Structure 1
């Protein structure tokens, strides 16, 4: 083989692993998705963009054999027994990427290949469509993100993916140069400019919506809490990463203010944290998926922060508690009834350090 060809191949391999050429994650892990027939095949990070490769597979036509017909079916007549019929696909240009639990960290849609964002593309039973969506570059260090297209309305099904795991390590800090000689006078270090922030793209104001069920507290009788079971042994029995539900924490309707009915449950958590002084936790707020996505994220975050503030007021060190809101992206129940949705409106905490 030609030496130059070998050299070119070796250089290509070396540079393919270089951080400057971006990161590629094939078949990334996805924690939750709204439909099973759209898959994320690859996520590619360049210097400027987040590129997501998808594959859409339409259901194949199902042969339905009619029963008890007194005559054989003509092959041409079989088409009327094929299901489903032709459909259509498109991608909403308002789709965006989020850092889970942080409403202010989102990345805008730029363009798409092989799928329309204005109008729709007809698909036939059994069709496979590979398409690509381009977004603003995820900040280095965001290794889990959500892809949110919107709520499913009017018979259309939105494509939402929650908890997409990718390779996107944080940038390494440059090492400070080592001193090579002793000097008598101190060296003044140049003032480092403040890091540039991502410019915010102004959005058109959205109409004010009525409060959704996602903003209402769960109105139910006092439930047996996992905290009650921990009273005897303390939080020391809980493993790092374990989630504990707080079913008796309530808020005022459409607000973030704790109701007095919550105090008993939270006081129990305070006592347990005082007994286990090394434990740190993350308070997590959740809503159902009814209503505006951004609004629900913000509400869940502020409610988690209200719980955190209460614990701090009761004497727990602030650095032992963080707060996150996940809106409706981490549902416990998949149903659409009020009973099912109420299960998703909840407050939990996760042990992050023992």
Structure 2
């Protein structure tokens, strides 16, 4: 065998196993998605791109036979009882990837394979379509991201995936060579004195525990101080001017309760999270929710809480509590919460 060919093959093998060559996550965990019939099968990170492999499965036609007919239906007429009919799929070229809660950290769409981005592709009941979408490379260290195609309009259904977990660690810097370990001389251990005999002390029986009623609301729970790391507490009485970030005076009582709690628990740190409904522009909702969370953070700081104890994140409409489209359902999604990050 030619030596150059052998050397080139060996180099290729070495690079294929190199940690920096790329990261592949098969069947990544997805926290939430807008439709059940599109799955993310693999996410691949190269030096320049984020490559997402999808599988679309169209529902099979279901034979619906009318009951109690004295005669069979001709084959040609049976087609009208089959659902669903042929459909179409496509991928919006305005789709982008986001770091959750960070409106300024997004990654643009580049191209797609086996699915159109202008026009559409016809699909029949039972069809399976495997397609691939290419985006700008996610920054190292972003190991959770959102795939956002847009809001569903005009009878079409957008494909949105929230909280996609992948392998994308930060690049490790080369470590400086360590100095030779020093050889320590053995140290003689002092002779331990013989243990003293144990003397049992009779204890009085403990008092019976008193049952404490669990608080029912976030505000009551804050006052009781019964929280744990990672727990989310809703602030239902924090209000803003419509489509603005200014706090209304009705918010002060609840926020002052939070101030008192933070002053009593000096080691506690929190993350304030803002949420909107999904009406309107996605980017503007993200920005609005972030600025509202920052308004709450600023209020707490003005009341004497150290800035390094409070984070602020905005998630727009990507973390809905209610899935409905009525005003009552949407109002539940317009909210402010805080998460305990340290106790």
Contact 2:222 2:258 in 1 (8 A): no
Question: Kindly tell me: are residues 184 and 33 of structure 1, through their superposed partners in 2, closer, same or farther at Cα, counting changes over 3 Å?
Answer: closer
Equivalence for 1:324: 313
Question: Kindly tell me: are residues 68 and 3 of structure 1, through their superposed partners in 2, closer, same or farther at Cα, counting changes over 3 Å?
Answer: farther
RMSD across aligned C-alpha pairs, in angstroms? 17.0
Contact 1:109 1:136 in 2 (8 A): yes
How far 1:157 sits from its partner (Å)? 0.4
Matched position secondary structure for 2:118 = coil
Contact 2:46 2:137 in 1 (8 A): yes
How far 1:75 sits from its partner (Å)? 2.9
**How far apart, CA to CA, are the structure 2 residues paired with 1:202 and 1:142?**
57
Contact 1:256 1:302 in 2 (8 A): yes
**How far apart, CA to CA, are the structure 2 residues paired with 1:293 and 1:161?**
14
How far 1:73 sits from its partner (Å)? 1.9
Question: Kindly tell me: are residues 124 and 144 of structure 1, through their superposed partners in 2, closer, same or farther at Cα, counting changes over 3 Å?
Answer: same
How far 1:191 sits from its partner (Å)? 57
What's the CA shift string for 1:194-240, capped at 9, x where partnerless? Answer: 99xx99999999999999999999xxxxxx741323313xxx53111
Matched position secondary structure for 1:215 = coil
Contact 1:96 1:106 in 2 (8 A): yes
Matched position secondary structure for 1:107 = strand
Unaligned runs of 5+ in 1: 218-223
How far 1:282 sits from its partner (Å)? 0.3
Q: Number of residue pairs matched? A: 343
User: Please, what TM-score do these two structures have when normalized by structure 2?
Assistant: 0.84
Contact 2:112 2:132 in 1 (8 A): yes
Contact 1:90 1:120 in 2 (8 A): yes
Matched position secondary structure for 1:244 = strand
What's the CA shift string for 1:111-144, capped at 9, x where partnerless? Answer: 0000000100000000000000000000000000
User: Please, what TM-score do these two structures have when normalized by structure 1?
Assistant: 0.82
Contact 2:51 2:135 in 1 (8 A): yes
What's the CA shift string for 1:25-59, capped at 9, x where partnerless? Answer: 11111111110100000000000000000000001
Contact 1:215 1:253 in 2 (8 A): no
How far 1:176 sits from its partner (Å)? 4.5
Contact 1:285 1:301 in 2 (8 A): yes
What's the CA shift string for 1:169-204, capped at 9, x where partnerless? Answer: 011233346799999999999999999xx9999999
Question: Kindly tell me: are residues 207 and 48 of structure 1, through their superposed partners in 2, closer, same or farther at Cα, counting changes over 3 Å?
Answer: farther
How far 1:353 sits from its partner (Å)? 1.1
How far 1:274 sits from its partner (Å)? 0.5
